[in-house]
Structure 1
Amino acid sequence: MLLKITFVLFITLFTATGCVNTNQASSGDDIDKDLIVLAHGLGRSDWAMWKLAQRLEQAGYKVCSLDYATIGESVEAVLKDTTKQIDACIINSSKVHFVGHSLGGLVIRAYLQNANHTLKNVAIGNSVLIGTPNKGSELADHFKNSWLITLGGGISKSLVTGVNSLGNNLGELTVKFGVIAGTKSSSLTNDKFNGVNDGLVSVESTKLANMHDFITINVSHSEMRYNENVAYQTIHFLQKGYFKH
Protein backbone atom coordinates (compact mmCIF):
# COMPACT_ATOMS: atom_id res chain seq x y z
CA MET A 1 0.00 0.00 0.00
CA LEU A 2 2.80 2.41 0.92
CA LEU A 3 4.51 1.68 -2.40
CA LYS A 4 1.32 2.61 -4.27
CA ILE A 5 0.98 5.84 -2.31
CA THR A 6 4.62 6.69 -3.01
CA PHE A 7 4.14 6.07 -6.71
CA VAL A 8 1.05 8.29 -6.80
CA LEU A 9 3.06 11.02 -5.07
CA PHE A 10 5.84 10.67 -7.63
CA ILE A 11 3.42 10.99 -10.53
CA THR A 12 1.55 13.87 -8.90
CA LEU A 13 4.60 15.94 -8.05
CA PHE A 14 6.40 15.33 -11.32
CA THR A 15 3.39 15.60 -13.62
CA ALA A 16 0.66 17.77 -12.07
CA THR A 17 0.10 20.57 -14.54
CA GLY A 18 -1.70 23.79 -15.20
CA CYS A 19 -2.76 24.97 -18.63
CA VAL A 20 -2.72 28.74 -18.49
CA ASN A 21 -0.21 30.61 -20.64
CA THR A 22 1.26 33.56 -18.74
CA ASN A 23 3.51 34.85 -21.53
CA GLN A 24 2.81 38.42 -22.49
CA ALA A 25 4.27 40.65 -25.15
CA SER A 26 6.84 43.11 -23.81
CA SER A 27 5.70 46.70 -23.51
CA GLY A 28 7.73 49.66 -24.66
CA ASP A 29 8.83 50.22 -21.07
CA ASP A 30 10.53 46.79 -21.07
CA ILE A 31 12.86 47.37 -24.01
CA ASP A 32 15.91 48.27 -21.91
CA LYS A 33 15.39 45.62 -19.23
CA ASP A 34 17.44 42.43 -19.05
CA LEU A 35 15.47 39.36 -20.13
CA ILE A 36 15.08 36.18 -18.09
CA VAL A 37 14.12 32.96 -19.85
CA LEU A 38 12.21 30.91 -17.28
CA ALA A 39 11.73 27.14 -17.76
CA HIS A 40 9.33 24.88 -15.84
CA GLY A 41 9.66 21.22 -14.93
CA LEU A 42 8.16 17.92 -16.05
CA GLY A 43 4.41 17.90 -16.56
CA ARG A 44 4.07 21.56 -15.66
CA SER A 45 3.26 24.65 -17.70
CA ASP A 46 4.31 28.28 -17.57
CA TRP A 47 1.42 28.79 -15.14
CA ALA A 48 3.35 26.77 -12.55
CA MET A 49 6.09 29.42 -12.56
CA TRP A 50 3.82 32.45 -12.15
CA LYS A 51 4.93 33.41 -8.64
CA LEU A 52 8.63 33.24 -9.42
CA ALA A 53 8.02 35.13 -12.68
CA GLN A 54 6.18 37.82 -10.73
CA ARG A 55 9.05 38.22 -8.27
CA LEU A 56 11.59 38.41 -11.09
CA GLU A 57 9.54 41.10 -12.79
CA GLN A 58 9.29 43.02 -9.52
CA ALA A 59 13.10 42.90 -9.37
CA GLY A 60 13.22 44.77 -12.68
CA TYR A 61 13.51 42.02 -15.29
CA LYS A 62 11.49 41.10 -18.34
CA VAL A 63 10.43 37.45 -18.11
CA CYS A 64 9.74 35.04 -20.95
CA SER A 65 8.19 31.96 -19.35
CA LEU A 66 8.37 28.89 -21.58
CA ASP A 67 5.29 26.70 -22.02
CA TYR A 68 5.99 23.26 -23.45
CA ALA A 69 4.50 19.77 -23.34
CA THR A 70 6.52 17.02 -21.67
CA ILE A 71 4.31 14.04 -20.82
CA GLY A 72 4.47 11.44 -23.58
CA GLU A 73 7.13 13.45 -25.41
CA SER A 74 10.59 12.40 -26.50
CA VAL A 75 13.71 14.24 -25.38
CA GLU A 76 14.23 15.42 -28.94
CA ALA A 77 10.70 16.84 -29.22
CA VAL A 78 10.98 18.75 -25.94
CA LEU A 79 14.35 20.25 -26.82
CA LYS A 80 13.19 21.18 -30.32
CA ASP A 81 10.11 22.92 -28.95
CA THR A 82 11.96 24.78 -26.21
CA THR A 83 14.76 25.83 -28.56
CA LYS A 84 12.20 27.38 -30.89
CA GLN A 85 10.54 29.20 -28.00
CA ILE A 86 13.80 30.50 -26.54
CA ASP A 87 14.98 31.71 -29.95
CA ALA A 88 11.74 33.69 -30.23
CA CYS A 89 12.08 35.01 -26.67
CA ILE A 90 15.53 36.49 -27.10
CA ILE A 91 14.90 38.38 -30.35
CA ASN A 92 15.76 42.07 -29.81
CA SER A 93 17.12 41.38 -26.31
CA SER A 94 20.51 42.83 -25.49
CA LYS A 95 21.16 40.69 -22.40
CA VAL A 96 19.62 37.36 -21.38
CA HIS A 97 19.68 35.36 -18.14
CA PHE A 98 18.30 31.84 -17.66
CA VAL A 99 16.41 30.27 -14.74
CA GLY A 100 15.11 26.70 -14.71
CA HIS A 101 13.30 24.58 -12.16
CA SER A 102 13.81 20.80 -12.18
CA LEU A 103 13.69 19.56 -15.81
CA GLY A 104 13.71 23.21 -16.84
CA GLY A 105 17.33 23.41 -15.76
CA LEU A 106 18.21 20.58 -18.15
CA VAL A 107 16.32 22.38 -20.92
CA ILE A 108 18.46 25.44 -20.29
CA ARG A 109 21.68 23.43 -20.23
CA ALA A 110 20.79 21.79 -23.54
CA TYR A 111 19.93 25.12 -25.14
CA LEU A 112 23.10 26.86 -24.03
CA GLN A 113 25.14 23.92 -25.26
CA ASN A 114 23.67 23.98 -28.76
CA ALA A 115 22.64 27.57 -29.52
CA ASN A 116 25.91 29.44 -30.02
CA HIS A 117 24.74 30.65 -33.43
CA THR A 118 21.62 32.23 -31.93
CA LEU A 119 23.39 33.78 -28.97
CA LYS A 120 26.34 35.32 -30.79
CA ASN A 121 24.71 38.78 -30.85
CA VAL A 122 23.28 38.58 -27.33
CA ALA A 123 25.08 39.20 -24.05
CA ILE A 124 24.64 36.17 -21.79
CA GLY A 125 24.12 36.98 -18.15
CA ASN A 126 23.90 34.54 -15.25
CA SER A 127 21.90 31.34 -14.93
CA VAL A 128 20.32 29.57 -11.95
CA LEU A 129 19.34 25.89 -11.84
CA ILE A 130 16.74 25.18 -9.14
CA GLY A 131 16.27 21.60 -7.96
CA THR A 132 17.56 20.32 -11.28
CA PRO A 133 18.36 16.57 -11.49
CA ASN A 134 21.69 17.17 -13.20
CA LYS A 135 22.71 13.58 -12.45
CA GLY A 136 19.19 12.13 -12.55
CA SER A 137 16.79 11.20 -9.78
CA GLU A 138 17.00 8.09 -7.62
CA LEU A 139 13.22 8.20 -7.35
CA ALA A 140 12.95 7.94 -11.13
CA ASP A 141 15.27 4.93 -10.90
CA HIS A 142 12.89 3.30 -8.45
CA PHE A 143 9.95 3.58 -10.85
CA LYS A 144 11.82 3.23 -14.14
CA ASN A 145 10.15 -0.09 -15.00
CA SER A 146 6.64 1.16 -14.29
CA TRP A 147 4.29 1.27 -17.28
CA LEU A 148 3.26 4.79 -16.25
CA ILE A 149 6.83 6.03 -16.56
CA THR A 150 6.94 4.40 -19.98
CA LEU A 151 3.70 6.20 -20.82
CA GLY A 152 5.41 9.41 -19.73
CA GLY A 153 7.66 9.20 -22.77
CA GLY A 154 11.35 9.53 -23.40
CA ILE A 155 11.70 12.77 -21.47
CA SER A 156 10.36 11.09 -18.32
CA LYS A 157 12.68 8.12 -18.79
CA SER A 158 15.63 10.51 -19.17
CA LEU A 159 15.36 11.59 -15.52
CA VAL A 160 16.99 8.39 -14.26
CA THR A 161 20.58 8.33 -13.02
CA GLY A 162 23.51 6.72 -14.84
CA VAL A 163 24.42 6.60 -18.52
CA ASN A 164 20.83 7.09 -19.72
CA SER A 165 20.36 10.29 -17.74
CA LEU A 166 19.76 13.40 -19.83
CA GLY A 167 21.77 15.47 -17.39
CA ASN A 168 24.76 13.16 -17.56
CA ASN A 169 24.76 13.39 -21.36
CA LEU A 170 24.89 17.18 -21.51
CA GLY A 171 28.17 19.07 -21.67
CA GLU A 172 29.49 21.56 -19.13
CA LEU A 173 28.02 25.03 -19.10
CA THR A 174 30.38 27.79 -20.19
CA VAL A 175 28.31 30.59 -18.63
CA LYS A 176 28.30 31.67 -15.00
CA PHE A 177 25.66 29.64 -13.17
CA GLY A 178 24.58 28.77 -9.66
CA VAL A 179 22.69 25.79 -8.27
CA ILE A 180 19.97 25.80 -5.61
CA ALA A 181 19.07 22.49 -3.94
CA GLY A 182 16.20 21.74 -1.57
CA THR A 183 16.64 19.76 1.64
CA LYS A 184 13.03 19.24 2.77
CA SER A 185 12.38 15.56 2.14
CA SER A 186 9.12 13.60 2.12
CA SER A 187 8.43 10.69 4.46
CA LEU A 188 6.89 8.86 1.48
CA THR A 189 10.01 9.02 -0.70
CA ASN A 190 12.93 9.55 1.66
CA ASP A 191 13.83 5.85 1.82
CA LYS A 192 14.47 5.87 -1.95
CA PHE A 193 17.45 8.20 -1.49
CA ASN A 194 20.89 7.65 -0.01
CA GLY A 195 21.30 11.21 1.20
CA VAL A 196 19.64 14.58 1.73
CA ASN A 197 16.92 15.31 -0.83
CA ASP A 198 13.94 17.53 -1.61
CA GLY A 199 11.50 14.64 -1.99
CA LEU A 200 12.22 14.11 -5.69
CA VAL A 201 15.86 15.03 -6.29
CA SER A 202 18.89 14.49 -4.07
CA VAL A 203 21.14 17.39 -3.16
CA GLU A 204 24.10 15.52 -4.62
CA SER A 205 22.33 15.10 -7.97
CA THR A 206 21.88 18.84 -8.38
CA LYS A 207 25.61 19.57 -8.21
CA LEU A 208 27.84 20.16 -11.23
CA ALA A 209 31.63 20.29 -11.15
CA ASN A 210 31.93 23.73 -12.75
CA MET A 211 29.10 25.54 -10.94
CA HIS A 212 30.11 28.98 -9.73
CA ASP A 213 28.13 28.81 -6.49
CA PHE A 214 25.87 26.41 -4.64
CA ILE A 215 23.35 26.79 -1.84
CA THR A 216 20.81 24.59 -0.07
CA ILE A 217 17.45 25.81 1.19
CA ASN A 218 15.05 23.94 3.48
CA VAL A 219 12.28 23.61 0.92
CA SER A 220 10.67 20.72 -0.96
CA HIS A 221 10.92 20.21 -4.70
CA SER A 222 7.49 21.53 -5.62
CA GLU A 223 7.62 24.39 -3.08
CA MET A 224 10.73 25.86 -4.71
CA ARG A 225 8.66 27.62 -7.37
CA TYR A 226 6.81 29.66 -4.74
CA ASN A 227 9.38 29.98 -1.99
CA GLU A 228 10.41 33.56 -1.18
CA ASN A 229 13.97 32.65 -0.20
CA VAL A 230 14.49 30.68 -3.43
CA ALA A 231 13.37 33.75 -5.38
CA TYR A 232 15.61 36.02 -3.30
CA GLN A 233 18.69 33.84 -3.83
CA THR A 234 17.91 33.50 -7.54
CA ILE A 235 17.73 37.26 -7.97
CA HIS A 236 20.87 37.74 -5.87
CA PHE A 237 22.83 35.39 -8.14
CA LEU A 238 21.46 36.95 -11.32
CA GLN A 239 22.53 40.38 -10.11
CA LYS A 240 25.85 39.59 -8.43
CA GLY A 241 26.99 36.19 -9.70
CA TYR A 242 26.90 34.53 -6.26
CA PHE A 243 24.39 33.59 -3.57
CA LYS A 244 24.07 35.29 -0.21
CA HIS A 245 25.55 32.81 2.28
Structure 2
Amino acid sequence: MTPASAALVVLVHGLGRTPLSLWRIERALGRAGYRTRAYAYASRRHGLDELARQFRTFLGGLHGEPGPIHFVGHSLGAILIRAGLTEVSPRALGRIVLLAPPNRGTGVVARLARAPWLMWRMGPAVRDLGPSSPILRALPPAPPSTGIVAGTSRFHPLTPASWVNHVWFRIAEEHDGTVELASTRLEDAADFIALPVGHTFMPSQPAVIRQVLAFLREGRFER
Protein backbone atom coordinates (compact mmCIF):
# COMPACT_ATOMS: atom_id res chain seq x y z
CA MET A 1 0.00 0.00 0.00
CA THR A 2 1.24 3.49 -0.84
CA PRO A 3 2.43 5.52 2.20
CA ALA A 4 -0.22 7.57 3.97
CA SER A 5 1.35 10.82 2.80
CA ALA A 6 0.36 10.00 -0.80
CA ALA A 7 -3.18 8.88 -0.03
CA LEU A 8 -6.41 10.87 -0.01
CA VAL A 9 -9.27 10.04 2.37
CA VAL A 10 -12.76 11.19 1.36
CA LEU A 11 -15.08 11.72 4.34
CA VAL A 12 -18.86 11.54 3.92
CA HIS A 13 -21.13 12.64 6.77
CA GLY A 14 -24.52 11.24 7.71
CA LEU A 15 -28.15 12.32 7.61
CA GLY A 16 -28.81 15.73 9.10
CA ARG A 17 -25.13 16.30 9.80
CA THR A 18 -22.32 18.31 8.18
CA PRO A 19 -18.60 17.69 7.60
CA LEU A 20 -18.03 19.14 11.07
CA SER A 21 -19.38 15.89 12.51
CA LEU A 22 -16.25 14.18 11.16
CA TRP A 23 -13.70 16.80 12.18
CA ARG A 24 -12.05 14.63 14.84
CA ILE A 25 -11.50 11.83 12.34
CA GLU A 26 -10.25 14.35 9.79
CA ARG A 27 -7.78 15.79 12.30
CA ALA A 28 -6.48 12.34 13.23
CA LEU A 29 -6.06 11.43 9.58
CA GLY A 30 -4.11 14.61 8.92
CA ARG A 31 -1.81 13.87 11.83
CA ALA A 32 -1.26 10.38 10.42
CA GLY A 33 -0.10 11.84 7.11
CA TYR A 34 -3.23 11.47 4.99
CA ARG A 35 -4.73 14.16 2.83
CA THR A 36 -8.44 14.62 3.45
CA ARG A 37 -11.44 15.92 1.59
CA ALA A 38 -14.84 16.23 3.25
CA TYR A 39 -17.85 15.84 0.97
CA ALA A 40 -20.73 18.14 1.94
CA TYR A 41 -24.28 17.54 0.72
CA ALA A 42 -27.85 18.54 1.57
CA SER A 43 -28.81 15.26 3.21
CA ARG A 44 -32.37 16.25 4.12
CA ARG A 45 -33.29 17.84 0.80
CA HIS A 46 -33.31 14.87 -1.61
CA GLY A 47 -34.04 11.17 -1.81
CA LEU A 48 -31.29 8.57 -1.85
CA ASP A 49 -31.22 8.19 -5.65
CA GLU A 50 -30.56 11.90 -6.18
CA LEU A 51 -28.00 12.06 -3.38
CA ALA A 52 -26.16 9.11 -4.94
CA ARG A 53 -26.23 10.80 -8.35
CA GLN A 54 -24.67 13.94 -6.87
CA PHE A 55 -22.00 11.86 -5.13
CA ARG A 56 -21.13 10.06 -8.37
CA THR A 57 -20.62 13.47 -9.99
CA PHE A 58 -18.24 14.36 -7.18
CA LEU A 59 -16.38 11.08 -7.64
CA GLY A 60 -15.92 11.83 -11.31
CA GLY A 61 -13.66 14.72 -10.35
CA LEU A 62 -11.27 12.46 -8.43
CA HIS A 63 -9.86 10.46 -11.33
CA GLY A 64 -6.74 12.62 -11.52
CA GLU A 65 -5.83 12.03 -7.88
CA PRO A 66 -2.44 10.33 -7.37
CA GLY A 67 -2.15 7.33 -5.11
CA PRO A 68 -4.96 5.35 -3.47
CA ILE A 69 -8.21 7.04 -2.51
CA HIS A 70 -9.76 5.80 0.73
CA PHE A 71 -13.30 6.47 1.95
CA VAL A 72 -14.83 6.89 5.41
CA GLY A 73 -18.60 7.27 5.60
CA HIS A 74 -20.98 7.59 8.53
CA SER A 75 -24.55 6.24 8.40
CA LEU A 76 -26.21 7.62 5.23
CA GLY A 77 -22.74 8.69 4.09
CA ALA A 78 -21.69 5.04 4.14
CA ILE A 79 -24.61 4.14 1.89
CA LEU A 80 -23.71 6.95 -0.51
CA ILE A 81 -20.20 5.54 -0.77
CA ARG A 82 -21.57 2.12 -1.66
CA ALA A 83 -24.05 3.57 -4.15
CA GLY A 84 -21.54 5.94 -5.71
CA LEU A 85 -18.81 3.41 -6.27
CA THR A 86 -21.14 1.14 -8.23
CA GLU A 87 -20.91 3.43 -11.23
CA VAL A 88 -17.90 5.72 -10.79
CA SER A 89 -14.86 4.12 -9.21
CA PRO A 90 -11.70 6.14 -8.56
CA ARG A 91 -8.72 5.05 -10.65
CA ALA A 92 -6.92 3.74 -7.58
CA LEU A 93 -9.54 2.72 -5.03
CA GLY A 94 -8.10 2.20 -1.58
CA ARG A 95 -9.82 1.05 1.60
CA ILE A 96 -13.32 1.86 2.77
CA VAL A 97 -14.57 2.22 6.35
CA LEU A 98 -18.33 2.30 6.91
CA LEU A 99 -19.45 3.64 10.30
CA ALA A 100 -22.90 2.51 11.50
CA PRO A 101 -24.14 1.81 7.96
CA PRO A 102 -27.81 0.81 7.56
CA ASN A 103 -26.79 -1.67 4.87
CA ARG A 104 -29.93 -3.75 5.27
CA GLY A 105 -32.14 -0.83 6.22
CA THR A 106 -33.36 0.08 9.68
CA GLY A 107 -36.67 -0.66 11.35
CA VAL A 108 -36.75 2.78 12.92
CA VAL A 109 -38.06 4.12 9.60
CA ALA A 110 -41.36 2.27 10.08
CA ARG A 111 -41.53 3.32 13.71
CA LEU A 112 -40.87 6.95 12.78
CA ALA A 113 -43.91 6.83 10.51
CA ARG A 114 -45.96 7.14 13.70
CA ALA A 115 -44.27 10.48 14.35
CA PRO A 116 -44.75 12.41 11.07
CA TRP A 117 -43.00 15.51 12.36
CA LEU A 118 -39.80 13.49 12.83
CA MET A 119 -40.08 12.02 9.33
CA TRP A 120 -40.55 15.52 7.92
CA ARG A 121 -37.57 16.81 9.87
CA MET A 122 -35.27 14.08 8.56
CA GLY A 123 -36.19 14.56 4.92
CA PRO A 124 -37.04 12.26 1.99
CA ALA A 125 -33.87 10.13 2.11
CA VAL A 126 -34.94 8.49 5.38
CA ARG A 127 -37.80 6.78 3.54
CA ASP A 128 -35.22 5.02 1.37
CA LEU A 129 -33.49 3.49 4.40
CA GLY A 130 -36.17 1.05 5.56
CA PRO A 131 -35.62 -2.75 5.56
CA SER A 132 -37.68 -3.17 2.38
CA SER A 133 -35.89 -0.39 0.46
CA PRO A 134 -35.41 -1.45 -3.19
CA ILE A 135 -32.48 0.96 -3.46
CA LEU A 136 -30.59 -0.75 -0.65
CA ARG A 137 -31.42 -4.20 -1.96
CA ALA A 138 -30.05 -3.27 -5.39
CA LEU A 139 -26.63 -2.28 -4.06
CA PRO A 140 -23.86 -4.71 -5.05
CA PRO A 141 -21.59 -6.53 -2.60
CA ALA A 142 -19.08 -4.49 -0.66
CA PRO A 143 -15.96 -3.50 -2.59
CA PRO A 144 -12.73 -5.27 -1.60
CA SER A 145 -11.07 -4.00 1.57
CA THR A 146 -14.24 -2.69 3.22
CA GLY A 147 -14.38 -2.53 7.01
CA ILE A 148 -17.53 -1.96 9.07
CA VAL A 149 -17.74 -0.38 12.53
CA ALA A 150 -21.05 -0.89 14.35
CA GLY A 151 -22.25 0.50 17.67
CA THR A 152 -24.08 -1.14 20.57
CA SER A 153 -24.92 1.80 22.86
CA ARG A 154 -28.70 2.04 22.70
CA PHE A 155 -29.54 5.51 23.98
CA HIS A 156 -28.37 9.09 23.74
CA PRO A 157 -30.69 11.95 24.75
CA LEU A 158 -29.68 14.00 21.69
CA THR A 159 -30.50 11.22 19.21
CA PRO A 160 -34.24 11.30 18.33
CA ALA A 161 -34.22 7.78 16.87
CA SER A 162 -32.88 6.34 20.11
CA TRP A 163 -35.92 7.73 21.94
CA VAL A 164 -38.08 5.89 19.43
CA ASN A 165 -36.16 2.60 19.56
CA HIS A 166 -35.11 2.43 23.19
CA VAL A 167 -37.67 4.47 25.14
CA TRP A 168 -40.94 4.33 23.19
CA PHE A 169 -40.73 0.88 21.59
CA ARG A 170 -38.03 -0.77 23.74
CA ILE A 171 -36.91 -3.05 20.94
CA ALA A 172 -34.99 -6.09 22.13
CA GLU A 173 -32.68 -6.38 19.15
CA GLU A 174 -29.16 -5.05 19.66
CA HIS A 175 -28.76 -1.59 18.13
CA ASP A 176 -26.84 1.69 18.35
CA GLY A 177 -29.89 3.83 19.04
CA THR A 178 -30.72 4.16 15.34
CA VAL A 179 -29.51 1.15 13.33
CA GLU A 180 -29.81 -2.50 14.31
CA LEU A 181 -26.49 -4.32 14.67
CA ALA A 182 -27.54 -7.02 12.20
CA SER A 183 -28.38 -4.37 9.61
CA THR A 184 -24.83 -3.07 9.49
CA ARG A 185 -23.27 -6.34 8.36
CA LEU A 186 -22.21 -7.23 4.82
CA GLU A 187 -21.07 -10.73 3.93
CA ASP A 188 -18.29 -9.53 1.64
CA ALA A 189 -16.74 -7.02 4.06
CA ALA A 190 -13.09 -7.63 4.88
CA ASP A 191 -13.63 -7.00 8.61
CA PHE A 192 -16.32 -6.08 11.12
CA ILE A 193 -16.17 -4.77 14.67
CA ALA A 194 -18.83 -3.70 17.18
CA LEU A 195 -17.98 -1.08 19.80
CA PRO A 196 -19.95 0.25 22.81
CA VAL A 197 -20.77 3.58 21.15
CA GLY A 198 -23.96 5.21 19.90
CA HIS A 199 -24.98 6.07 16.37
CA THR A 200 -25.03 9.85 16.10
CA PHE A 201 -21.74 10.69 17.80
CA MET A 202 -19.82 7.58 16.75
CA PRO A 203 -17.33 9.51 14.54
CA SER A 204 -16.08 11.57 17.48
CA GLN A 205 -15.31 8.59 19.74
CA PRO A 206 -11.58 7.87 20.29
CA ALA A 207 -12.08 4.10 20.00
CA VAL A 208 -13.76 4.54 16.62
CA ILE A 209 -11.09 6.90 15.33
CA ARG A 210 -8.41 4.42 16.39
CA GLN A 211 -10.13 1.65 14.43
CA VAL A 212 -10.54 3.84 11.34
CA LEU A 213 -6.81 4.54 11.33
CA ALA A 214 -6.00 0.86 11.90
CA PHE A 215 -8.15 -0.32 9.01
CA LEU A 216 -6.83 2.27 6.57
CA ARG A 217 -3.30 1.31 7.56
CA GLU A 218 -3.56 -2.49 7.82
CA GLY A 219 -6.81 -3.53 6.16
CA ARG A 220 -8.13 -4.94 9.45
CA PHE A 221 -9.29 -3.67 12.82
CA GLU A 222 -7.30 -3.82 16.05
CA ARG A 223 -8.27 -6.50 18.57
Q: Provide TM-score, normalisation by structure 1.
A: 0.79
Between the aligned partners of 2:63 and 2:31, the Cα distance in structure 1 is: 20
Could you tell me which of 47, 59, 73 is aligned with 1:100?
Answer: 73
Deviation at 1:100, TM superposition (A): 0.5
Shift of 1:92: 2.5
The 5 Å alignment of 1:1-245 reads 33-89=6-62, 91-116=64-89, 119=90, 122-144=91-113, 146-148=115-117, 149-150=119-120, 152-162=122-132, 164=133, 166-186=135-155, 188=163, 189-190=165-166, 191-245=169-223
Q: CA RMSD in A?
A: 2.0
Aligned residue for 1:85, secondary structure, equals helix
Shift in CA distance, 202/60, structure 1 to aligned 2, threshold 3 Å: same
Runs of 4+ that moved beyond 6 A: none
Q: Give 1:193 deviation, angstroms.
A: 3.3
Q: Deviations over 1:67-99 (max 9, x none)?
A: 000113122221122222233345323210111
CA distance in 2, matches of 1:100, 1:55: 15
CA distance in 2, matches of 1:160, 1:138: 6
Aligned residue identity for 1:169: A
Q: Give me the TM-score of the superposition, normalised by structure 2.
A: 0.86
Helix, strand or coil: the match of 1:114? coil
Kindly state the Cα deviation for residue 48 of structure 1 after the two structures are TM-superposed: 1.6
Paired residues in the alignment total: 210
In structure 2, relative to structure 1, the CA distance for the partners of 1:131 and 1:238 (3 Å cut) is same
Query: Relative contact order, CA 8 A, sep 6+: which one is greater?
Result: 2
Q: 1:180 to 1:84 in 2, by over 3 A?
A: same
Q: Which amino acid aligns with 2:181?
A: V
Give the letter for the 2:24 counterpart: K
Mark the runs of 5 or more structure 2 residues left unpaired by the alignment. 156-161
> Could you tell me how far 1:168 is from its partner in structure 2?
2.5
Q: d(CA) in 1 for partners of 2:64 and 2:21?
A: 24
